Structure 1
Amino acid sequence: MSRTVVVTDSTASLPPAEAEERGIVVVPLQVVIGATSYDEGADGATPEMVAEALRDYRPVSTSRPSPAVMREVYERAAADGATEIVSVHLSGDMSGTFESAQLAARDTSVPVHAVDSRQVGIATGLAVLAASDVVLGGGSAAEAAAAARDRAEGTTSLFYVDTLDYLRRGGRIGAASALLGGALAVKPLLTIEDGRVATLEKVRTSGRALARLAELAVEAAGDGPVEIGVAHLANPDRADHLADQLGTRLVDNLDGRAVRCGEVGAVLGAHVGPGMLAVCVARLG
């Protein structure tokens, strides 16, 4: 009897209990704070650790799992009975994790369907859950991989950062864009476009930026059914307010589904900095 296992990485921001309940295997990325390397997660690098390090101007960097680590994860799943694997990861343009998955898949004893979500954070997580839904419903690995790609492609990711400097340090945006934003004291609204961070709009105050974030999320939802996720780094009150606001404004679109709300992991936090607020709108129809 065939058995498909879904694998993802820690940047997908899935609650550990939910991943465990669904049988999703989560591979941690690494965070280096100063000279010490940690696995991302509750027992290693946490969002609080990263936010504190960034505020203290301590060096913070991140790294992908190696192909050897990914292959070990796949072979462990195979040893536990997996006959196929669907491995869904954050955008290959922003991390080498997907490349590690591809390389490991070549030498794994069972077929591995590696999926580049072209997204990050909750948006990747929603794609993972779409794959998991197919598997739990008895669908094939190929169908699960297709569902992950479709969900990611139908997701709009919007986010606000207090400063572009952290994205500049990590090479996610150009120095000229970061310098311009700082010089004009604007609050940027960003999006994920073709797997990369892109500037969407620039507004003058954080209050206007957050109000505009909500408006853009409502526009992205349209009239159809959606899933909504809100994420933050060291900004829980505003995240809760935004989640409540969207839950009310999009109650018909959600049709009883709760708005997911939580803090991003340490890896993504290292690149966006404290104060970040994000919204993901995944269209279901």
Structure 2
Amino acid sequence: MTIKILADSACDLSKKHYNEYNIEMVPLTVHLDEKEFKDGIEIEPKTVYDAMREGKMTKTSQVSPQTFKSIFTSYAKENQPLLYFAFSSELSGTYQTAKMMEQEVKEEYPDATLHVIDTKCASIGYGLVILHAAKLAKDGASAEEIIESTTYQAEHMEHIFTVDDLEYLYRGGRVSKTAAFVGSLLKIKPLLHVDDGKLIPLEKIRGSKKVLQRMIDVMEHRGADFKNQTIGISHGDDLQRAEQLASMIKEKFGAESVLIEMVGAVIGAHAGPGTIALFFSNKPNMNS
């Protein structure tokens, strides 16, 4: 029986990907105007970005325990193997909730092939990991093979990103108020990365034009074999700059496969409009 891959909406993949690779998606929740919306199902990212530009407050919440229990139970009942590769546990409590529900369901269905894995990844970095898992599942790989190979992909996935306004990261507790205020005044653009699932500031850059070039420099320093991997770019409603970055990457490294998607509503609610994120593997092949 083909193994089913489950992702959550923080992977920022499109419906086309879910359909093509038969991936099941569980949504996180976005809170806007005192209403709740299922990310990727009931609200478009652009709606969230427009609201943020108007100064509205947005919040997010993780997947409920009951939702996971219901999904896991339905697969266990049918004896259908299920692998859930989760959004970074350092950025959301969703992984921990899923782990608890995995234990509960396994008490009732001890023979269920059900595994919950923390990718320590986010946005299209996480999305590329999910696509890797789904392709292996489609090709008939075993649960052990998929977990081993996908975990390797996740461990080597680089996340390099910048935001347009530090205010949003300040609201989410990611930077200090002083840093946000000074950054806005001086038009400083922060460059951040994800290290072991956590958001870590890399450096501050003066002026937005220099940021994309600096991202390319970091990519050159950290990455490898760009021609034989898919590079990911996600953006907070700024397709023009995302495409500009993609052109620079193709020209500099001869990369042929670049996946561009909008940062989804949940991650976008924390990063804000104008976010540009770059994802690539620093060691694409397990044996290299």
Give the structure-2-normalised TM-score: 0.90
Counterpart among 159, 162, 166 of residue 161 in structure 2: 159
Counterpart among 242, 261, 267 of residue 245 in structure 2: 242
CA contact (8 A) 1:220 1:281 kept: no
Counterpart among 59, 62, 65 of residue 60 in structure 2: 62
- The more displaced of 176-185 and 132-141 is 176-185
The residue number in structure 2 matching 1:52 is: 50
The residue type paired with residue 20 of structure 2 is E
CA contact (8 A) 1:119 1:195 kept: yes
Aligned counterparts of 2:181 and 2:114: Cα–Cα separation in 1: 42
In the alignment, does 2:207 pair up with 1:210?
Answer: no
The residue type paired with residue 188 of structure 1 is P
Instruction: Tell me: CA distance 1:74–1:172, structure 2 relative to 1, closer, same or farther (3 Å).
Output: farther
CA contact (8 A) 2:6 2:85 kept: yes
Secondary structure of the 2:160 match is strand
Aligned counterparts of 1:175 and 1:208: Cα–Cα separation in 2: 24
The residue type paired with residue 132 of structure 1 is A
Aligned counterparts of 1:193 and 1:175: Cα–Cα separation in 2: 23
Counterpart among 171, 186, 189 of residue 187 in structure 1: 189
In the alignment, does 2:35 pair up with 1:33?
Answer: no
Aligned counterparts of 1:9 and 1:17: Cα–Cα separation in 2: 15
Aligned counterparts of 1:24 and 1:80: Cα–Cα separation in 2: 17
Using the TM superposition, give the Cα deviation of residue 209 of structure 1 relative to its aligned residue in structure 2, in angstroms.
Answer: 1.0
Aligned counterparts of 2:12 and 2:103: Cα–Cα separation in 1: 27
Aligned counterparts of 1:78 and 1:14: Cα–Cα separation in 2: 26
Aligned counterparts of 2:53 and 2:29: Cα–Cα separation in 1: 20
Aligned counterparts of 2:19 and 2:97: Cα–Cα separation in 1: 23
The residue type paired with residue 71 of structure 1 is K
CA contact (8 A) 1:3 1:81 kept: no
Aligned counterparts of 1:67 and 1:199: Cα–Cα separation in 2: 32
- Matched pairs, number: 278
Question: Sequence identity of aligned pairs in percent?
Answer: 30
Deviations 1:181-209 (A, max 9, x none): 34543111110012111111111100011
Secondary structure of the 1:259 match is strand
In the alignment, does 2:121 pair up with 1:119?
Answer: yes
Counterpart among 222, 231, 237 of residue 234 in structure 2: 231
Aligned counterparts of 2:198 and 2:182: Cα–Cα separation in 1: 19
Counterpart among 101, 106, 111 of residue 103 in structure 2: 106
Unmatched 5+ residue regions in structure 1?
Answer: none
Deviations 1:85-122 (A, max 9, x none): 11011110110111121011112232321111111101
Deviations 1:140-174 (A, max 9, x none): 11221222211111111100111221112122344
Unmatched 5+ residue regions in structure 2?
Answer: none
Deviations 1:210-249 (A, max 9, x none): 2211222233323464320111012111111111221232
Aligned counterparts of 1:177 and 1:73: Cα–Cα separation in 2: 42
Aligned counterparts of 1:59 and 1:207: Cα–Cα separation in 2: 28
CA RMSD of aligned residues (A): 1.8
Aligned counterparts of 2:264 and 2:20: Cα–Cα separation in 1: 20
Aligned counterparts of 1:175 and 1:145: Cα–Cα separation in 2: 40
Counterpart among 79, 93, 96 of residue 93 in structure 2: 96
Using the TM superposition, give the Cα deviation of residue 79 of structure 1 relative to its aligned residue in structure 2, in angstroms.
Answer: 4.8
The residue number in structure 2 matching 1:284 is: 284
Using the TM superposition, give the Cα deviation of residue 11 of structure 1 relative to its aligned residue in structure 2, in angstroms.
Answer: 0.9
Secondary structure of the 1:118 match is coil
CA contact (8 A) 1:10 1:26 kept: yes
Aligned counterparts of 1:216 and 1:150: Cα–Cα separation in 2: 21
The residue type paired with residue 146 of structure 1 is E
Aligned counterparts of 2:159 and 2:195: Cα–Cα separation in 1: 9
The residue type paired with residue 238 of structure 1 is R
Aligned counterparts of 1:178 and 1:73: Cα–Cα separation in 2: 40
The residue number in structure 2 matching 1:222 is: 224
